[in-house]
Amino acid sequence: MPLKQIHFGTSGWRGIIADEFTFDNVRAVVAAIADYVRAQNREQPRLVVGCDTRFFSPEFAEAAVEVLASRRVSSLRCRDFTPTPTIACEIRRRQADGGINFTASHNPPEYNGIKFSTPDGAPALPEVTKQLERIAVRHLADGIPDPGRAPEGSVEEIDPRPAYLEVLAEKIAVDEIKRAGLRVAYDPLFGTGNGYLNRFLADHGIEVHSLHTHRDVLFGGHPPEPSSEILEPLRALIRERGAQVGLSTDGDADRFGILDRDGAFISPNHIVALLLDYLIETRPQWPKGVARSVATTHLIDAVARHHNLPVHETPVGFKYIGELIKQDMITIGGEESAGLSVYGHVPEKDGILACLLVAEMVARRGASLGEQLQALFAKVGAYFPVRVNLHLDESIRQRLVERIKRDPKQFDGRPVASVNRTDGLKLLFNDDSWVLMRLSGTEPVVRCYCEAHSEKDTAALVEAAKRFVLE
């Protein structure tokens, strides 16, 4: 089987079930993880093993604990469907040697995947996942012996939810939410956030109304991604219950989606910037800094300048922001793809935490998210980011590869002020608008990110990016 069928991207290995994502391939990857963990000079390694609500996720997790046991690695097996950030917390709490989570996050229902976390609860960095790929391919060539059932004592069943909810209670000003009498609408999109975010609110006496709380391996017929078009049922729930905010998490609850009280979708870019401004005001004891990926809004930079904070720019992939969280260097780190974590929390995306911070912000400020965003624009300037994915045929892709290697002096007739190659080709202009083009490593797609100070100017940048790519 060729190497390309086991490839760890920015957030784990994913594939179509019964095509790339098979039991043989899963066993090979898990065996590779076991070999890697044992090579870290650990005498009795333990891994937290969990899964999301996808088709066959529990069965893949059971196969994983059998393979681990056969290679003398014990498992802390989550007894129920578990969010990715919860697994990260449990790895750290139990001082485990890492974790394996069966999830394809926000991908369509035909996908499943594996996320491997290291002992710090962070997503494995590329130098680790490249080793896993090489070892897994070797195991596929040699064959994995049938591990049989895991022997007694090699698997401990655990419930990580109580400890995780306690961690959230330390981070969230629950009394502020209660004092405001906030009504919350929540859509876990049939995923693992159910029983976590809504339970946290209910346990603290906060009115929360939920939908899509049962397991549906087809996720209602669409990807479990909290995007504007998928959250229409949440809009209806907001209207029905008179909620002041709508919250949503993706399949493994590491990403967030936010609706204002009028049902308007507030982009993750704007949410991260709003929360930065809010946390600087309300957590003055936290480190003064912010991290964002190269593809994320410069509204964050404007807020940081206003508060005289350093900005750390990273490649795309939350693992890079997680490194700064681990070093206690930043108040908050976020990505335009709805990943976020904060000082003192896990170095992993946490959509549940993000949603609860938004609820706190709405409650404490007593203003809608739209009103807060307009106030922020008035303070630091308006920014309107957009991302588009352009599908490429092979000839266009090869031509684009060559074009991206060059440093253009102009773009659509505009002088380029500077070129940033942190991840892809990012062209910055004198007015702080910019465009970024990144080729996918796994799909025939180029992702174009554009931002300007008006929706009209951003739309013009998008059209210029399309011409740059396709003409």
Question: Smallest Cα–Cα separation from 52: which of 16, 18, 102?
Answer: 102
In the numeric block, which tokens belong to residue 273?
């910037």
- pLDDT in the model for residue 441: 67
- pLDDT in the model for residue 442: 64
Q: Say if residue 323 is in the same domain as residue 403.
A: no
Domain containing 193 — which CATH number?
3.40.120.10
User: Residue 47 sits in which domain range?
Assistant: 3-159
Q: Say if residue 79 is in the same domain as residue 109.
A: yes
* Residue bearing tokens 């076991």: 34
CA distance 249 to 244: 17
Q: Say if residue 127 is in the same domain as residue 221.
A: no
Question: Smallest Cα–Cα separation from 296: which of 447, 403, 461, 464?
Answer: 447
Q: Say if residue 103 is in the same domain as residue 181.
A: no
* pTM for the structure as a whole: 0.95
Domain stops at, among 334, 352, 380: 380
In the numeric block, which tokens belong to residue 256?
């967030």
Domain containing 405 — which CATH number?
3.30.310.50
* Tens digit of each residue's pLDDT, the chain (471 residues): 444 478 887 778 999 999 999 999 999 999 999 999 999 877 789 999 999 999 999 999 999 999 999 999 999 999 999 999 999 999 999 999 999 999 999 999 999 999 999 999 999 999 999 999 999 999 998 888 778 787 877 899 999 999 999 999 999 999 999 999 999 999 999 999 999 999 999 999 999 999 999 999 999 999 999 999 999 999 999 999 999 999 999 999 999 999 999 999 999 999 999 999 999 999 999 999 999 999 999 999 999 999 999 999 999 999 999 999 999 999 999 999 999 999 999 999 999 999 999 999 999 999 999 999 999 999 999 999 999 999 988 888 888 888 888 889 999 999 999 999 999 999 999 999 999 999 876 678 899 999 999 999 999 999 999 999 987
Domain stops at, among 139, 159, 179: 159
Strand partners, 246: 185, 259
CA distance 442 to 11: 12
Domain stops at, among 380, 395, 416: 380
What strand order describes the sheet that includes 111-117?
8-9, 12-16, 111-117, 99-102, 46-51, 74-78, 155-158
Q: Say if residue 231 is in the same domain as residue 373.
A: yes
Q: Say if residue 238 is in the same domain as residue 125.
A: no
CA distance 296 to 294: 6
- pLDDT in the model for residue 276: 98
Query: Under DSSP, is residue 234 helix (H, G, I), strand (E, B) or coil?
Result: helix
Q: Say if residue 147 is in the same domain as residue 58.
A: yes
Burial letters 23-41, b for 16+ CB under 10 A, else e: eebbbbbbbbbbbbbbeee
In the chain, the number of structural domains is 3
Q: Say if residue 184 is in the same domain as residue 332.
A: yes
CA 89 from centre of chain: 15
Q: Say if residue 154 is in the same domain as residue 56.
A: yes
- pLDDT in the model for residue 399: 87
Q: Say if residue 266 is in the same domain as residue 338.
A: yes
Which whole-number Å values give the CA distances from 397 to 226, 404, 439, in the listed order? 30, 10, 9
Note whether 339 and 292 are within 8 A (CB): no
Q: Say if residue 368 is in the same domain as residue 393.
A: no
Q: Say if residue 83 is in the same domain as residue 177.
A: no
